[in-house]
A and B are shown apart, each in its own frame.
Chain A
Amino acid sequence: MTKFKLFLDVEKEEAWLDAMAEEGWRLDKVIPSIGKYTFTKVSEGEFCPKTRIDFRMVPKNERAEYIELFRESGWENICASNINAHYYFHQMSEESDDDIFSDKSSALQRDKRIGNICAIASTALFVVCILNIINIIDAVRNGDSFSIPMSAVCSSVLFAVGVVLFLIGARYFERYQKRVDADIVVIEKDGAIARDRTTGIFTRRLIVLMAIGFASGVAIGALMFLIER
């Protein structure tokens, strides 16, 4: 059975996959970028594995080691998407661990990693957007009307994607921060027990910086529009 479903929240995705597994649907294949899930029904009484999703940028030369570590501890990799840093694992047998994280802090860190990747990606998109806008200004100056519509469309699409990624990242950061604040969760930072204060300030500052960046992008766009008039 094939299902299409898009998730913005990795925890909801895991919960949905758990519910599917509960009904006896084993996830065999997934293409995260288009949200395509392929399931097979296991026969009555047969073990139906849970799926867990890790999210991290694993350097190419460490990928084999990373996947091997999971395999040895009972988690089979069923999808490694290098583009968006998703790694799907499902349990190899009933003896496999129940989860891929064994303490609260490492489970929380996943939210932070997703937030960081979203922040980097949206900032990169934003930079490309600005360059494109400069390009448009140039084209307007030179009276090169041919490339204007093309660049304008590109810019707005990139901008829209950037905003969406930014909002997703901000939500993850917010959840991470909220859980850290609420629980006085012990965060394993640099291997020691400490409350993670610096990250909160850092991520908040990053969000403000990016908001200013986006705002100035819009301002430049508007200015350009006025110049054109």
Chain B
Amino acid sequence: MNRSKYLPLTETTFYILTALLEPGHGYYIMQRVEELSDGNVRVAAGTMYGAIENLLKLKWIKAVPGDDKRRKVYMITNQGSEILEQETERLRGLLKVAEKYASG
């Protein structure tokens, strides 16, 4: 199997990409991640800004053209969706092993 060198994703990255399946700005992503993780994962502002910078560089997310410069809206790209799918596949594999051998 030709696995991407970017896998596995960190929890933060996984949640941010998932949040950006719907377009949203930085603070929206932070709220959405908290919601998606049932309050278990909170991304702080400095970490969030760095993550956006990083994911833009990787072209996994893109800025959606808009007027509000203070609240730029981002969205996942095809490349990002692909990575997310691969990661989900990897997690499924782990889950299968866990269910078969690890759980009680």
| Interface of A toward B, CB cutoff 8 Å | 52, 54, 56, 61, 64-66, 68-70, 72-73, 75, 89, 97, 99-103, 105-106, 109-110, 186, 188, 190-193
B45 and A192 form a contact (CB under 8 A):
no
B7 and A192 form a contact (CB under 8 A):
yes
| Interface of B toward A, CB cutoff 8 Å | 5-10, 12-13, 26-27, 30, 42-51, 54-55, 57-58, 60, 69-72
A191 and B69 form a contact (CB under 8 A):
no
CA A172 to CA B57, docked complex, whole Å: 25
Chain B contacts of A54 at CB under 8 A?
46
**Chain B CB within 10 A, most for which of A75, A89, A110, A191:** A191
B54 and A190 form a contact (CB under 8 A):
yes
B25 CB to nearest A CB, Å = 8
CA A89 to CA B30, docked complex, whole Å: 18
B82 CB to nearest A CB, Å = 13
B27 and A100 form a contact (CB under 8 A):
no
Query: Between A and B, how many residue pairs show CB distances below 8 Å?
Result: 89
A193 and B46 form a contact (CB under 8 A):
no
B10 and A186 form a contact (CB under 8 A):
yes
Q: List 29 A-B residue pairs with CB atoms under 8 Å apart, sorted by A's residue number.
A: A52-B46, A54-B46, A64-B70, A65-B70, A65-B72, A66-B49, A68-B26, A68-B27, A68-B71, A69-B26, A69-B48, A70-B49, A72-B27, A73-B44, A73-B48, A100-B47, A102-B12, A102-B47, A103-B47, A109-B50, A110-B46, A188-B51, A188-B54, A190-B58, A191-B51, A191-B58, A192-B6, A192-B8, A192-B13
CA A113 to CA B30, docked complex, whole Å: 23
Contact of A97 among B6, B7, B44, B57 (CB under 8 A): B44
A193 and B47 form a contact (CB under 8 A):
no
Chain A contacts of B69 at CB under 8 A?
61, 64-65
A100 and B9 form a contact (CB under 8 A):
no
Closest B residue to A188 by beta carbon equals B10
B47 and A191 form a contact (CB under 8 A):
no
Contact of B70 among A68, A103, A191 (CB under 8 A): A68
